[in-house]
Structure 1
Amino acid sequence: MTRWYPLEPADADFLASAPHVFRYEKRYAATPEQVWESLTSDESLAAWGPSLKSVTWTSPRPFGVGTTRDVVAPGGATMRERYFRWDDGRNHSFYVYESTLPVFKRFAEDYIVEPDGDHTRFTWVVAIEPKNPLALPVKVLAPLLKAGFGRIPSSGVGYFAKH
């Protein structure tokens, strides 16, 4: 039986005030509509590359505030996410409310899709607060975490170049 660990809710303020905030900006060879469609597709970010094993939406369409989904990493760790902001076609944000990893106190992400000429600028923010006993190890490993998370938006460059 899978063991789930609850996380505390997060909001838009947390995306700027978390102990660790990783921000990525990428330019994709696609329209904002195509990027948004991919983000909200059945596969979502898992289609972009091997950094995520699967994304399963657990709420019915149409999506909006309150929508939930489960995301599985390649090693099998799973996070259950709940959206607290949804500006269709432009921006959405969620926090993780449960995880199979007992690492985080709070975890949130923000996705921004903006036109950039004939392309799209995708901004992704990851905000994390580790549980107190893990604060120092996470601080030491923060550069590796940032690089690891950064593979996801970087894989979007190749994905949209092909699609």
Structure 2
Amino acid sequence: MARWFALEPADARFLDTAPHIFRYEKHYDAPPERVWESLQSDESLAAWGNSVSSLTWTSPRPFGVGSTREVGLGPAAVREHFFRWDEGQGYSFYVTEANAPLFRRFAEDYVVLPDGTGTRFIWKVAIQPRNALRLPFKVLAPVLKAGFGRLATDGGKYFATR
């Protein structure tokens, strides 16, 4: 059985004040309704590419504020709690637990906006590492940003083929 490490809760303010904030903005060749449908589907981001290896919603539909899910990222796994849910437009969550003791706080924000005949997808990742990992995270921040960015790029490829 995996060991889980608790993280501190986060809110919308943390998305702008975290020590590490990675922001991605992409145009997807799909209408906002289809991007939103994918984000809240059973597969969600796991359907977009290999960045997310598994995703399980752990609360019943309809989803909203207070919904939860567990996400696998290769050998890493996190449990998430949604604190913002704007139907059809976006959501935000923070990680409540992770199977590796890397983070003090971790949150993400997703925004789906009309953009011509497609969608403007805006994604923000906010991270506060545990104190002992502050320096390694600072050094590795460009690598981490590129790694997370792959998911946003995978979304573009996913919608271009649908």
Task: Normalising by structure 2, report the TM-score.
Answer: 0.99
- Displacement of 1:91 in angstroms is 1.4
For residues 101 and 118 of structure 1, the distance between their equivalents in structure 2, rounded to whole angstroms, comes to 41
CA–CA distance in structure 2, aligned partners of residues 101 and 151 of structure 1: 21
> Aligned-pair RMSD on alpha carbons?
0.4
Matched residue of 2:146: which SS? helix
Q: Deviations over 1:28-68 (max 9, x none)?
A: 00000000000000000010000110110000000000000
Secondary structure of 1:83's counterpart equals strand
In 2, Cα distance between the equivalents of 1:157 and 1:149? 14
Residues 21-40 of structure 1 correspond to what in structure 2 (within 5 A)? 21-40=21-40
Number of the residue aligned with 2:118: 119
Q: What is the number of residues matched between the two proteins? A: 162
What are the within-5 Å matches in structure 2 for residues 88-107 of structure 1? 88-107=87-106
Q: Secondary structure at the match of 1:94?
A: strand
Gaps of 5+ in 1: none
Q: Which sections of structure 2, spanning at least 5 residues, go unmatched? A: none
Q: Deviations over 1:1-37 (max 9, x none)?
A: 2100000000000000000000000000000000000
Q: Which residue of 2 aligns with 1:141?
A: 140
Q: Are 1:154 and 2:153 an aligned pair? A: yes
Secondary structure of the residue that 1:2 maps to in structure 2? Answer: coil
Question: CA offsets, 1:61-99, max 9 Å, x none?
Answer: 00000000000012x211000000000000100000000
Structure 1 position 161, deviation (Å): 0.5
CA distance in 2, matches of 1:103, 1:2: 15
Identity, % of aligned pairs? 65
Aligned with 1:50: secondary structure?
coil
Q: What residue is the counterpart of 1:14 in the other structure?
A: 14
Residue 49 (structure 1) aligns with: 49
Q: Which residue of 1 aligns with 2:66?
A: 66
User: Taking structure 1 as the reference length, what is the TM-score of the superposition?
Assistant: 0.99
- In structure 1, how many angstroms separate the alpha carbons of the residues matched to 2:102 and 2:157? 31
Query: What is the SS of the residue equivalent to 2:123?
Result: strand
SS at match of 1:63: coil
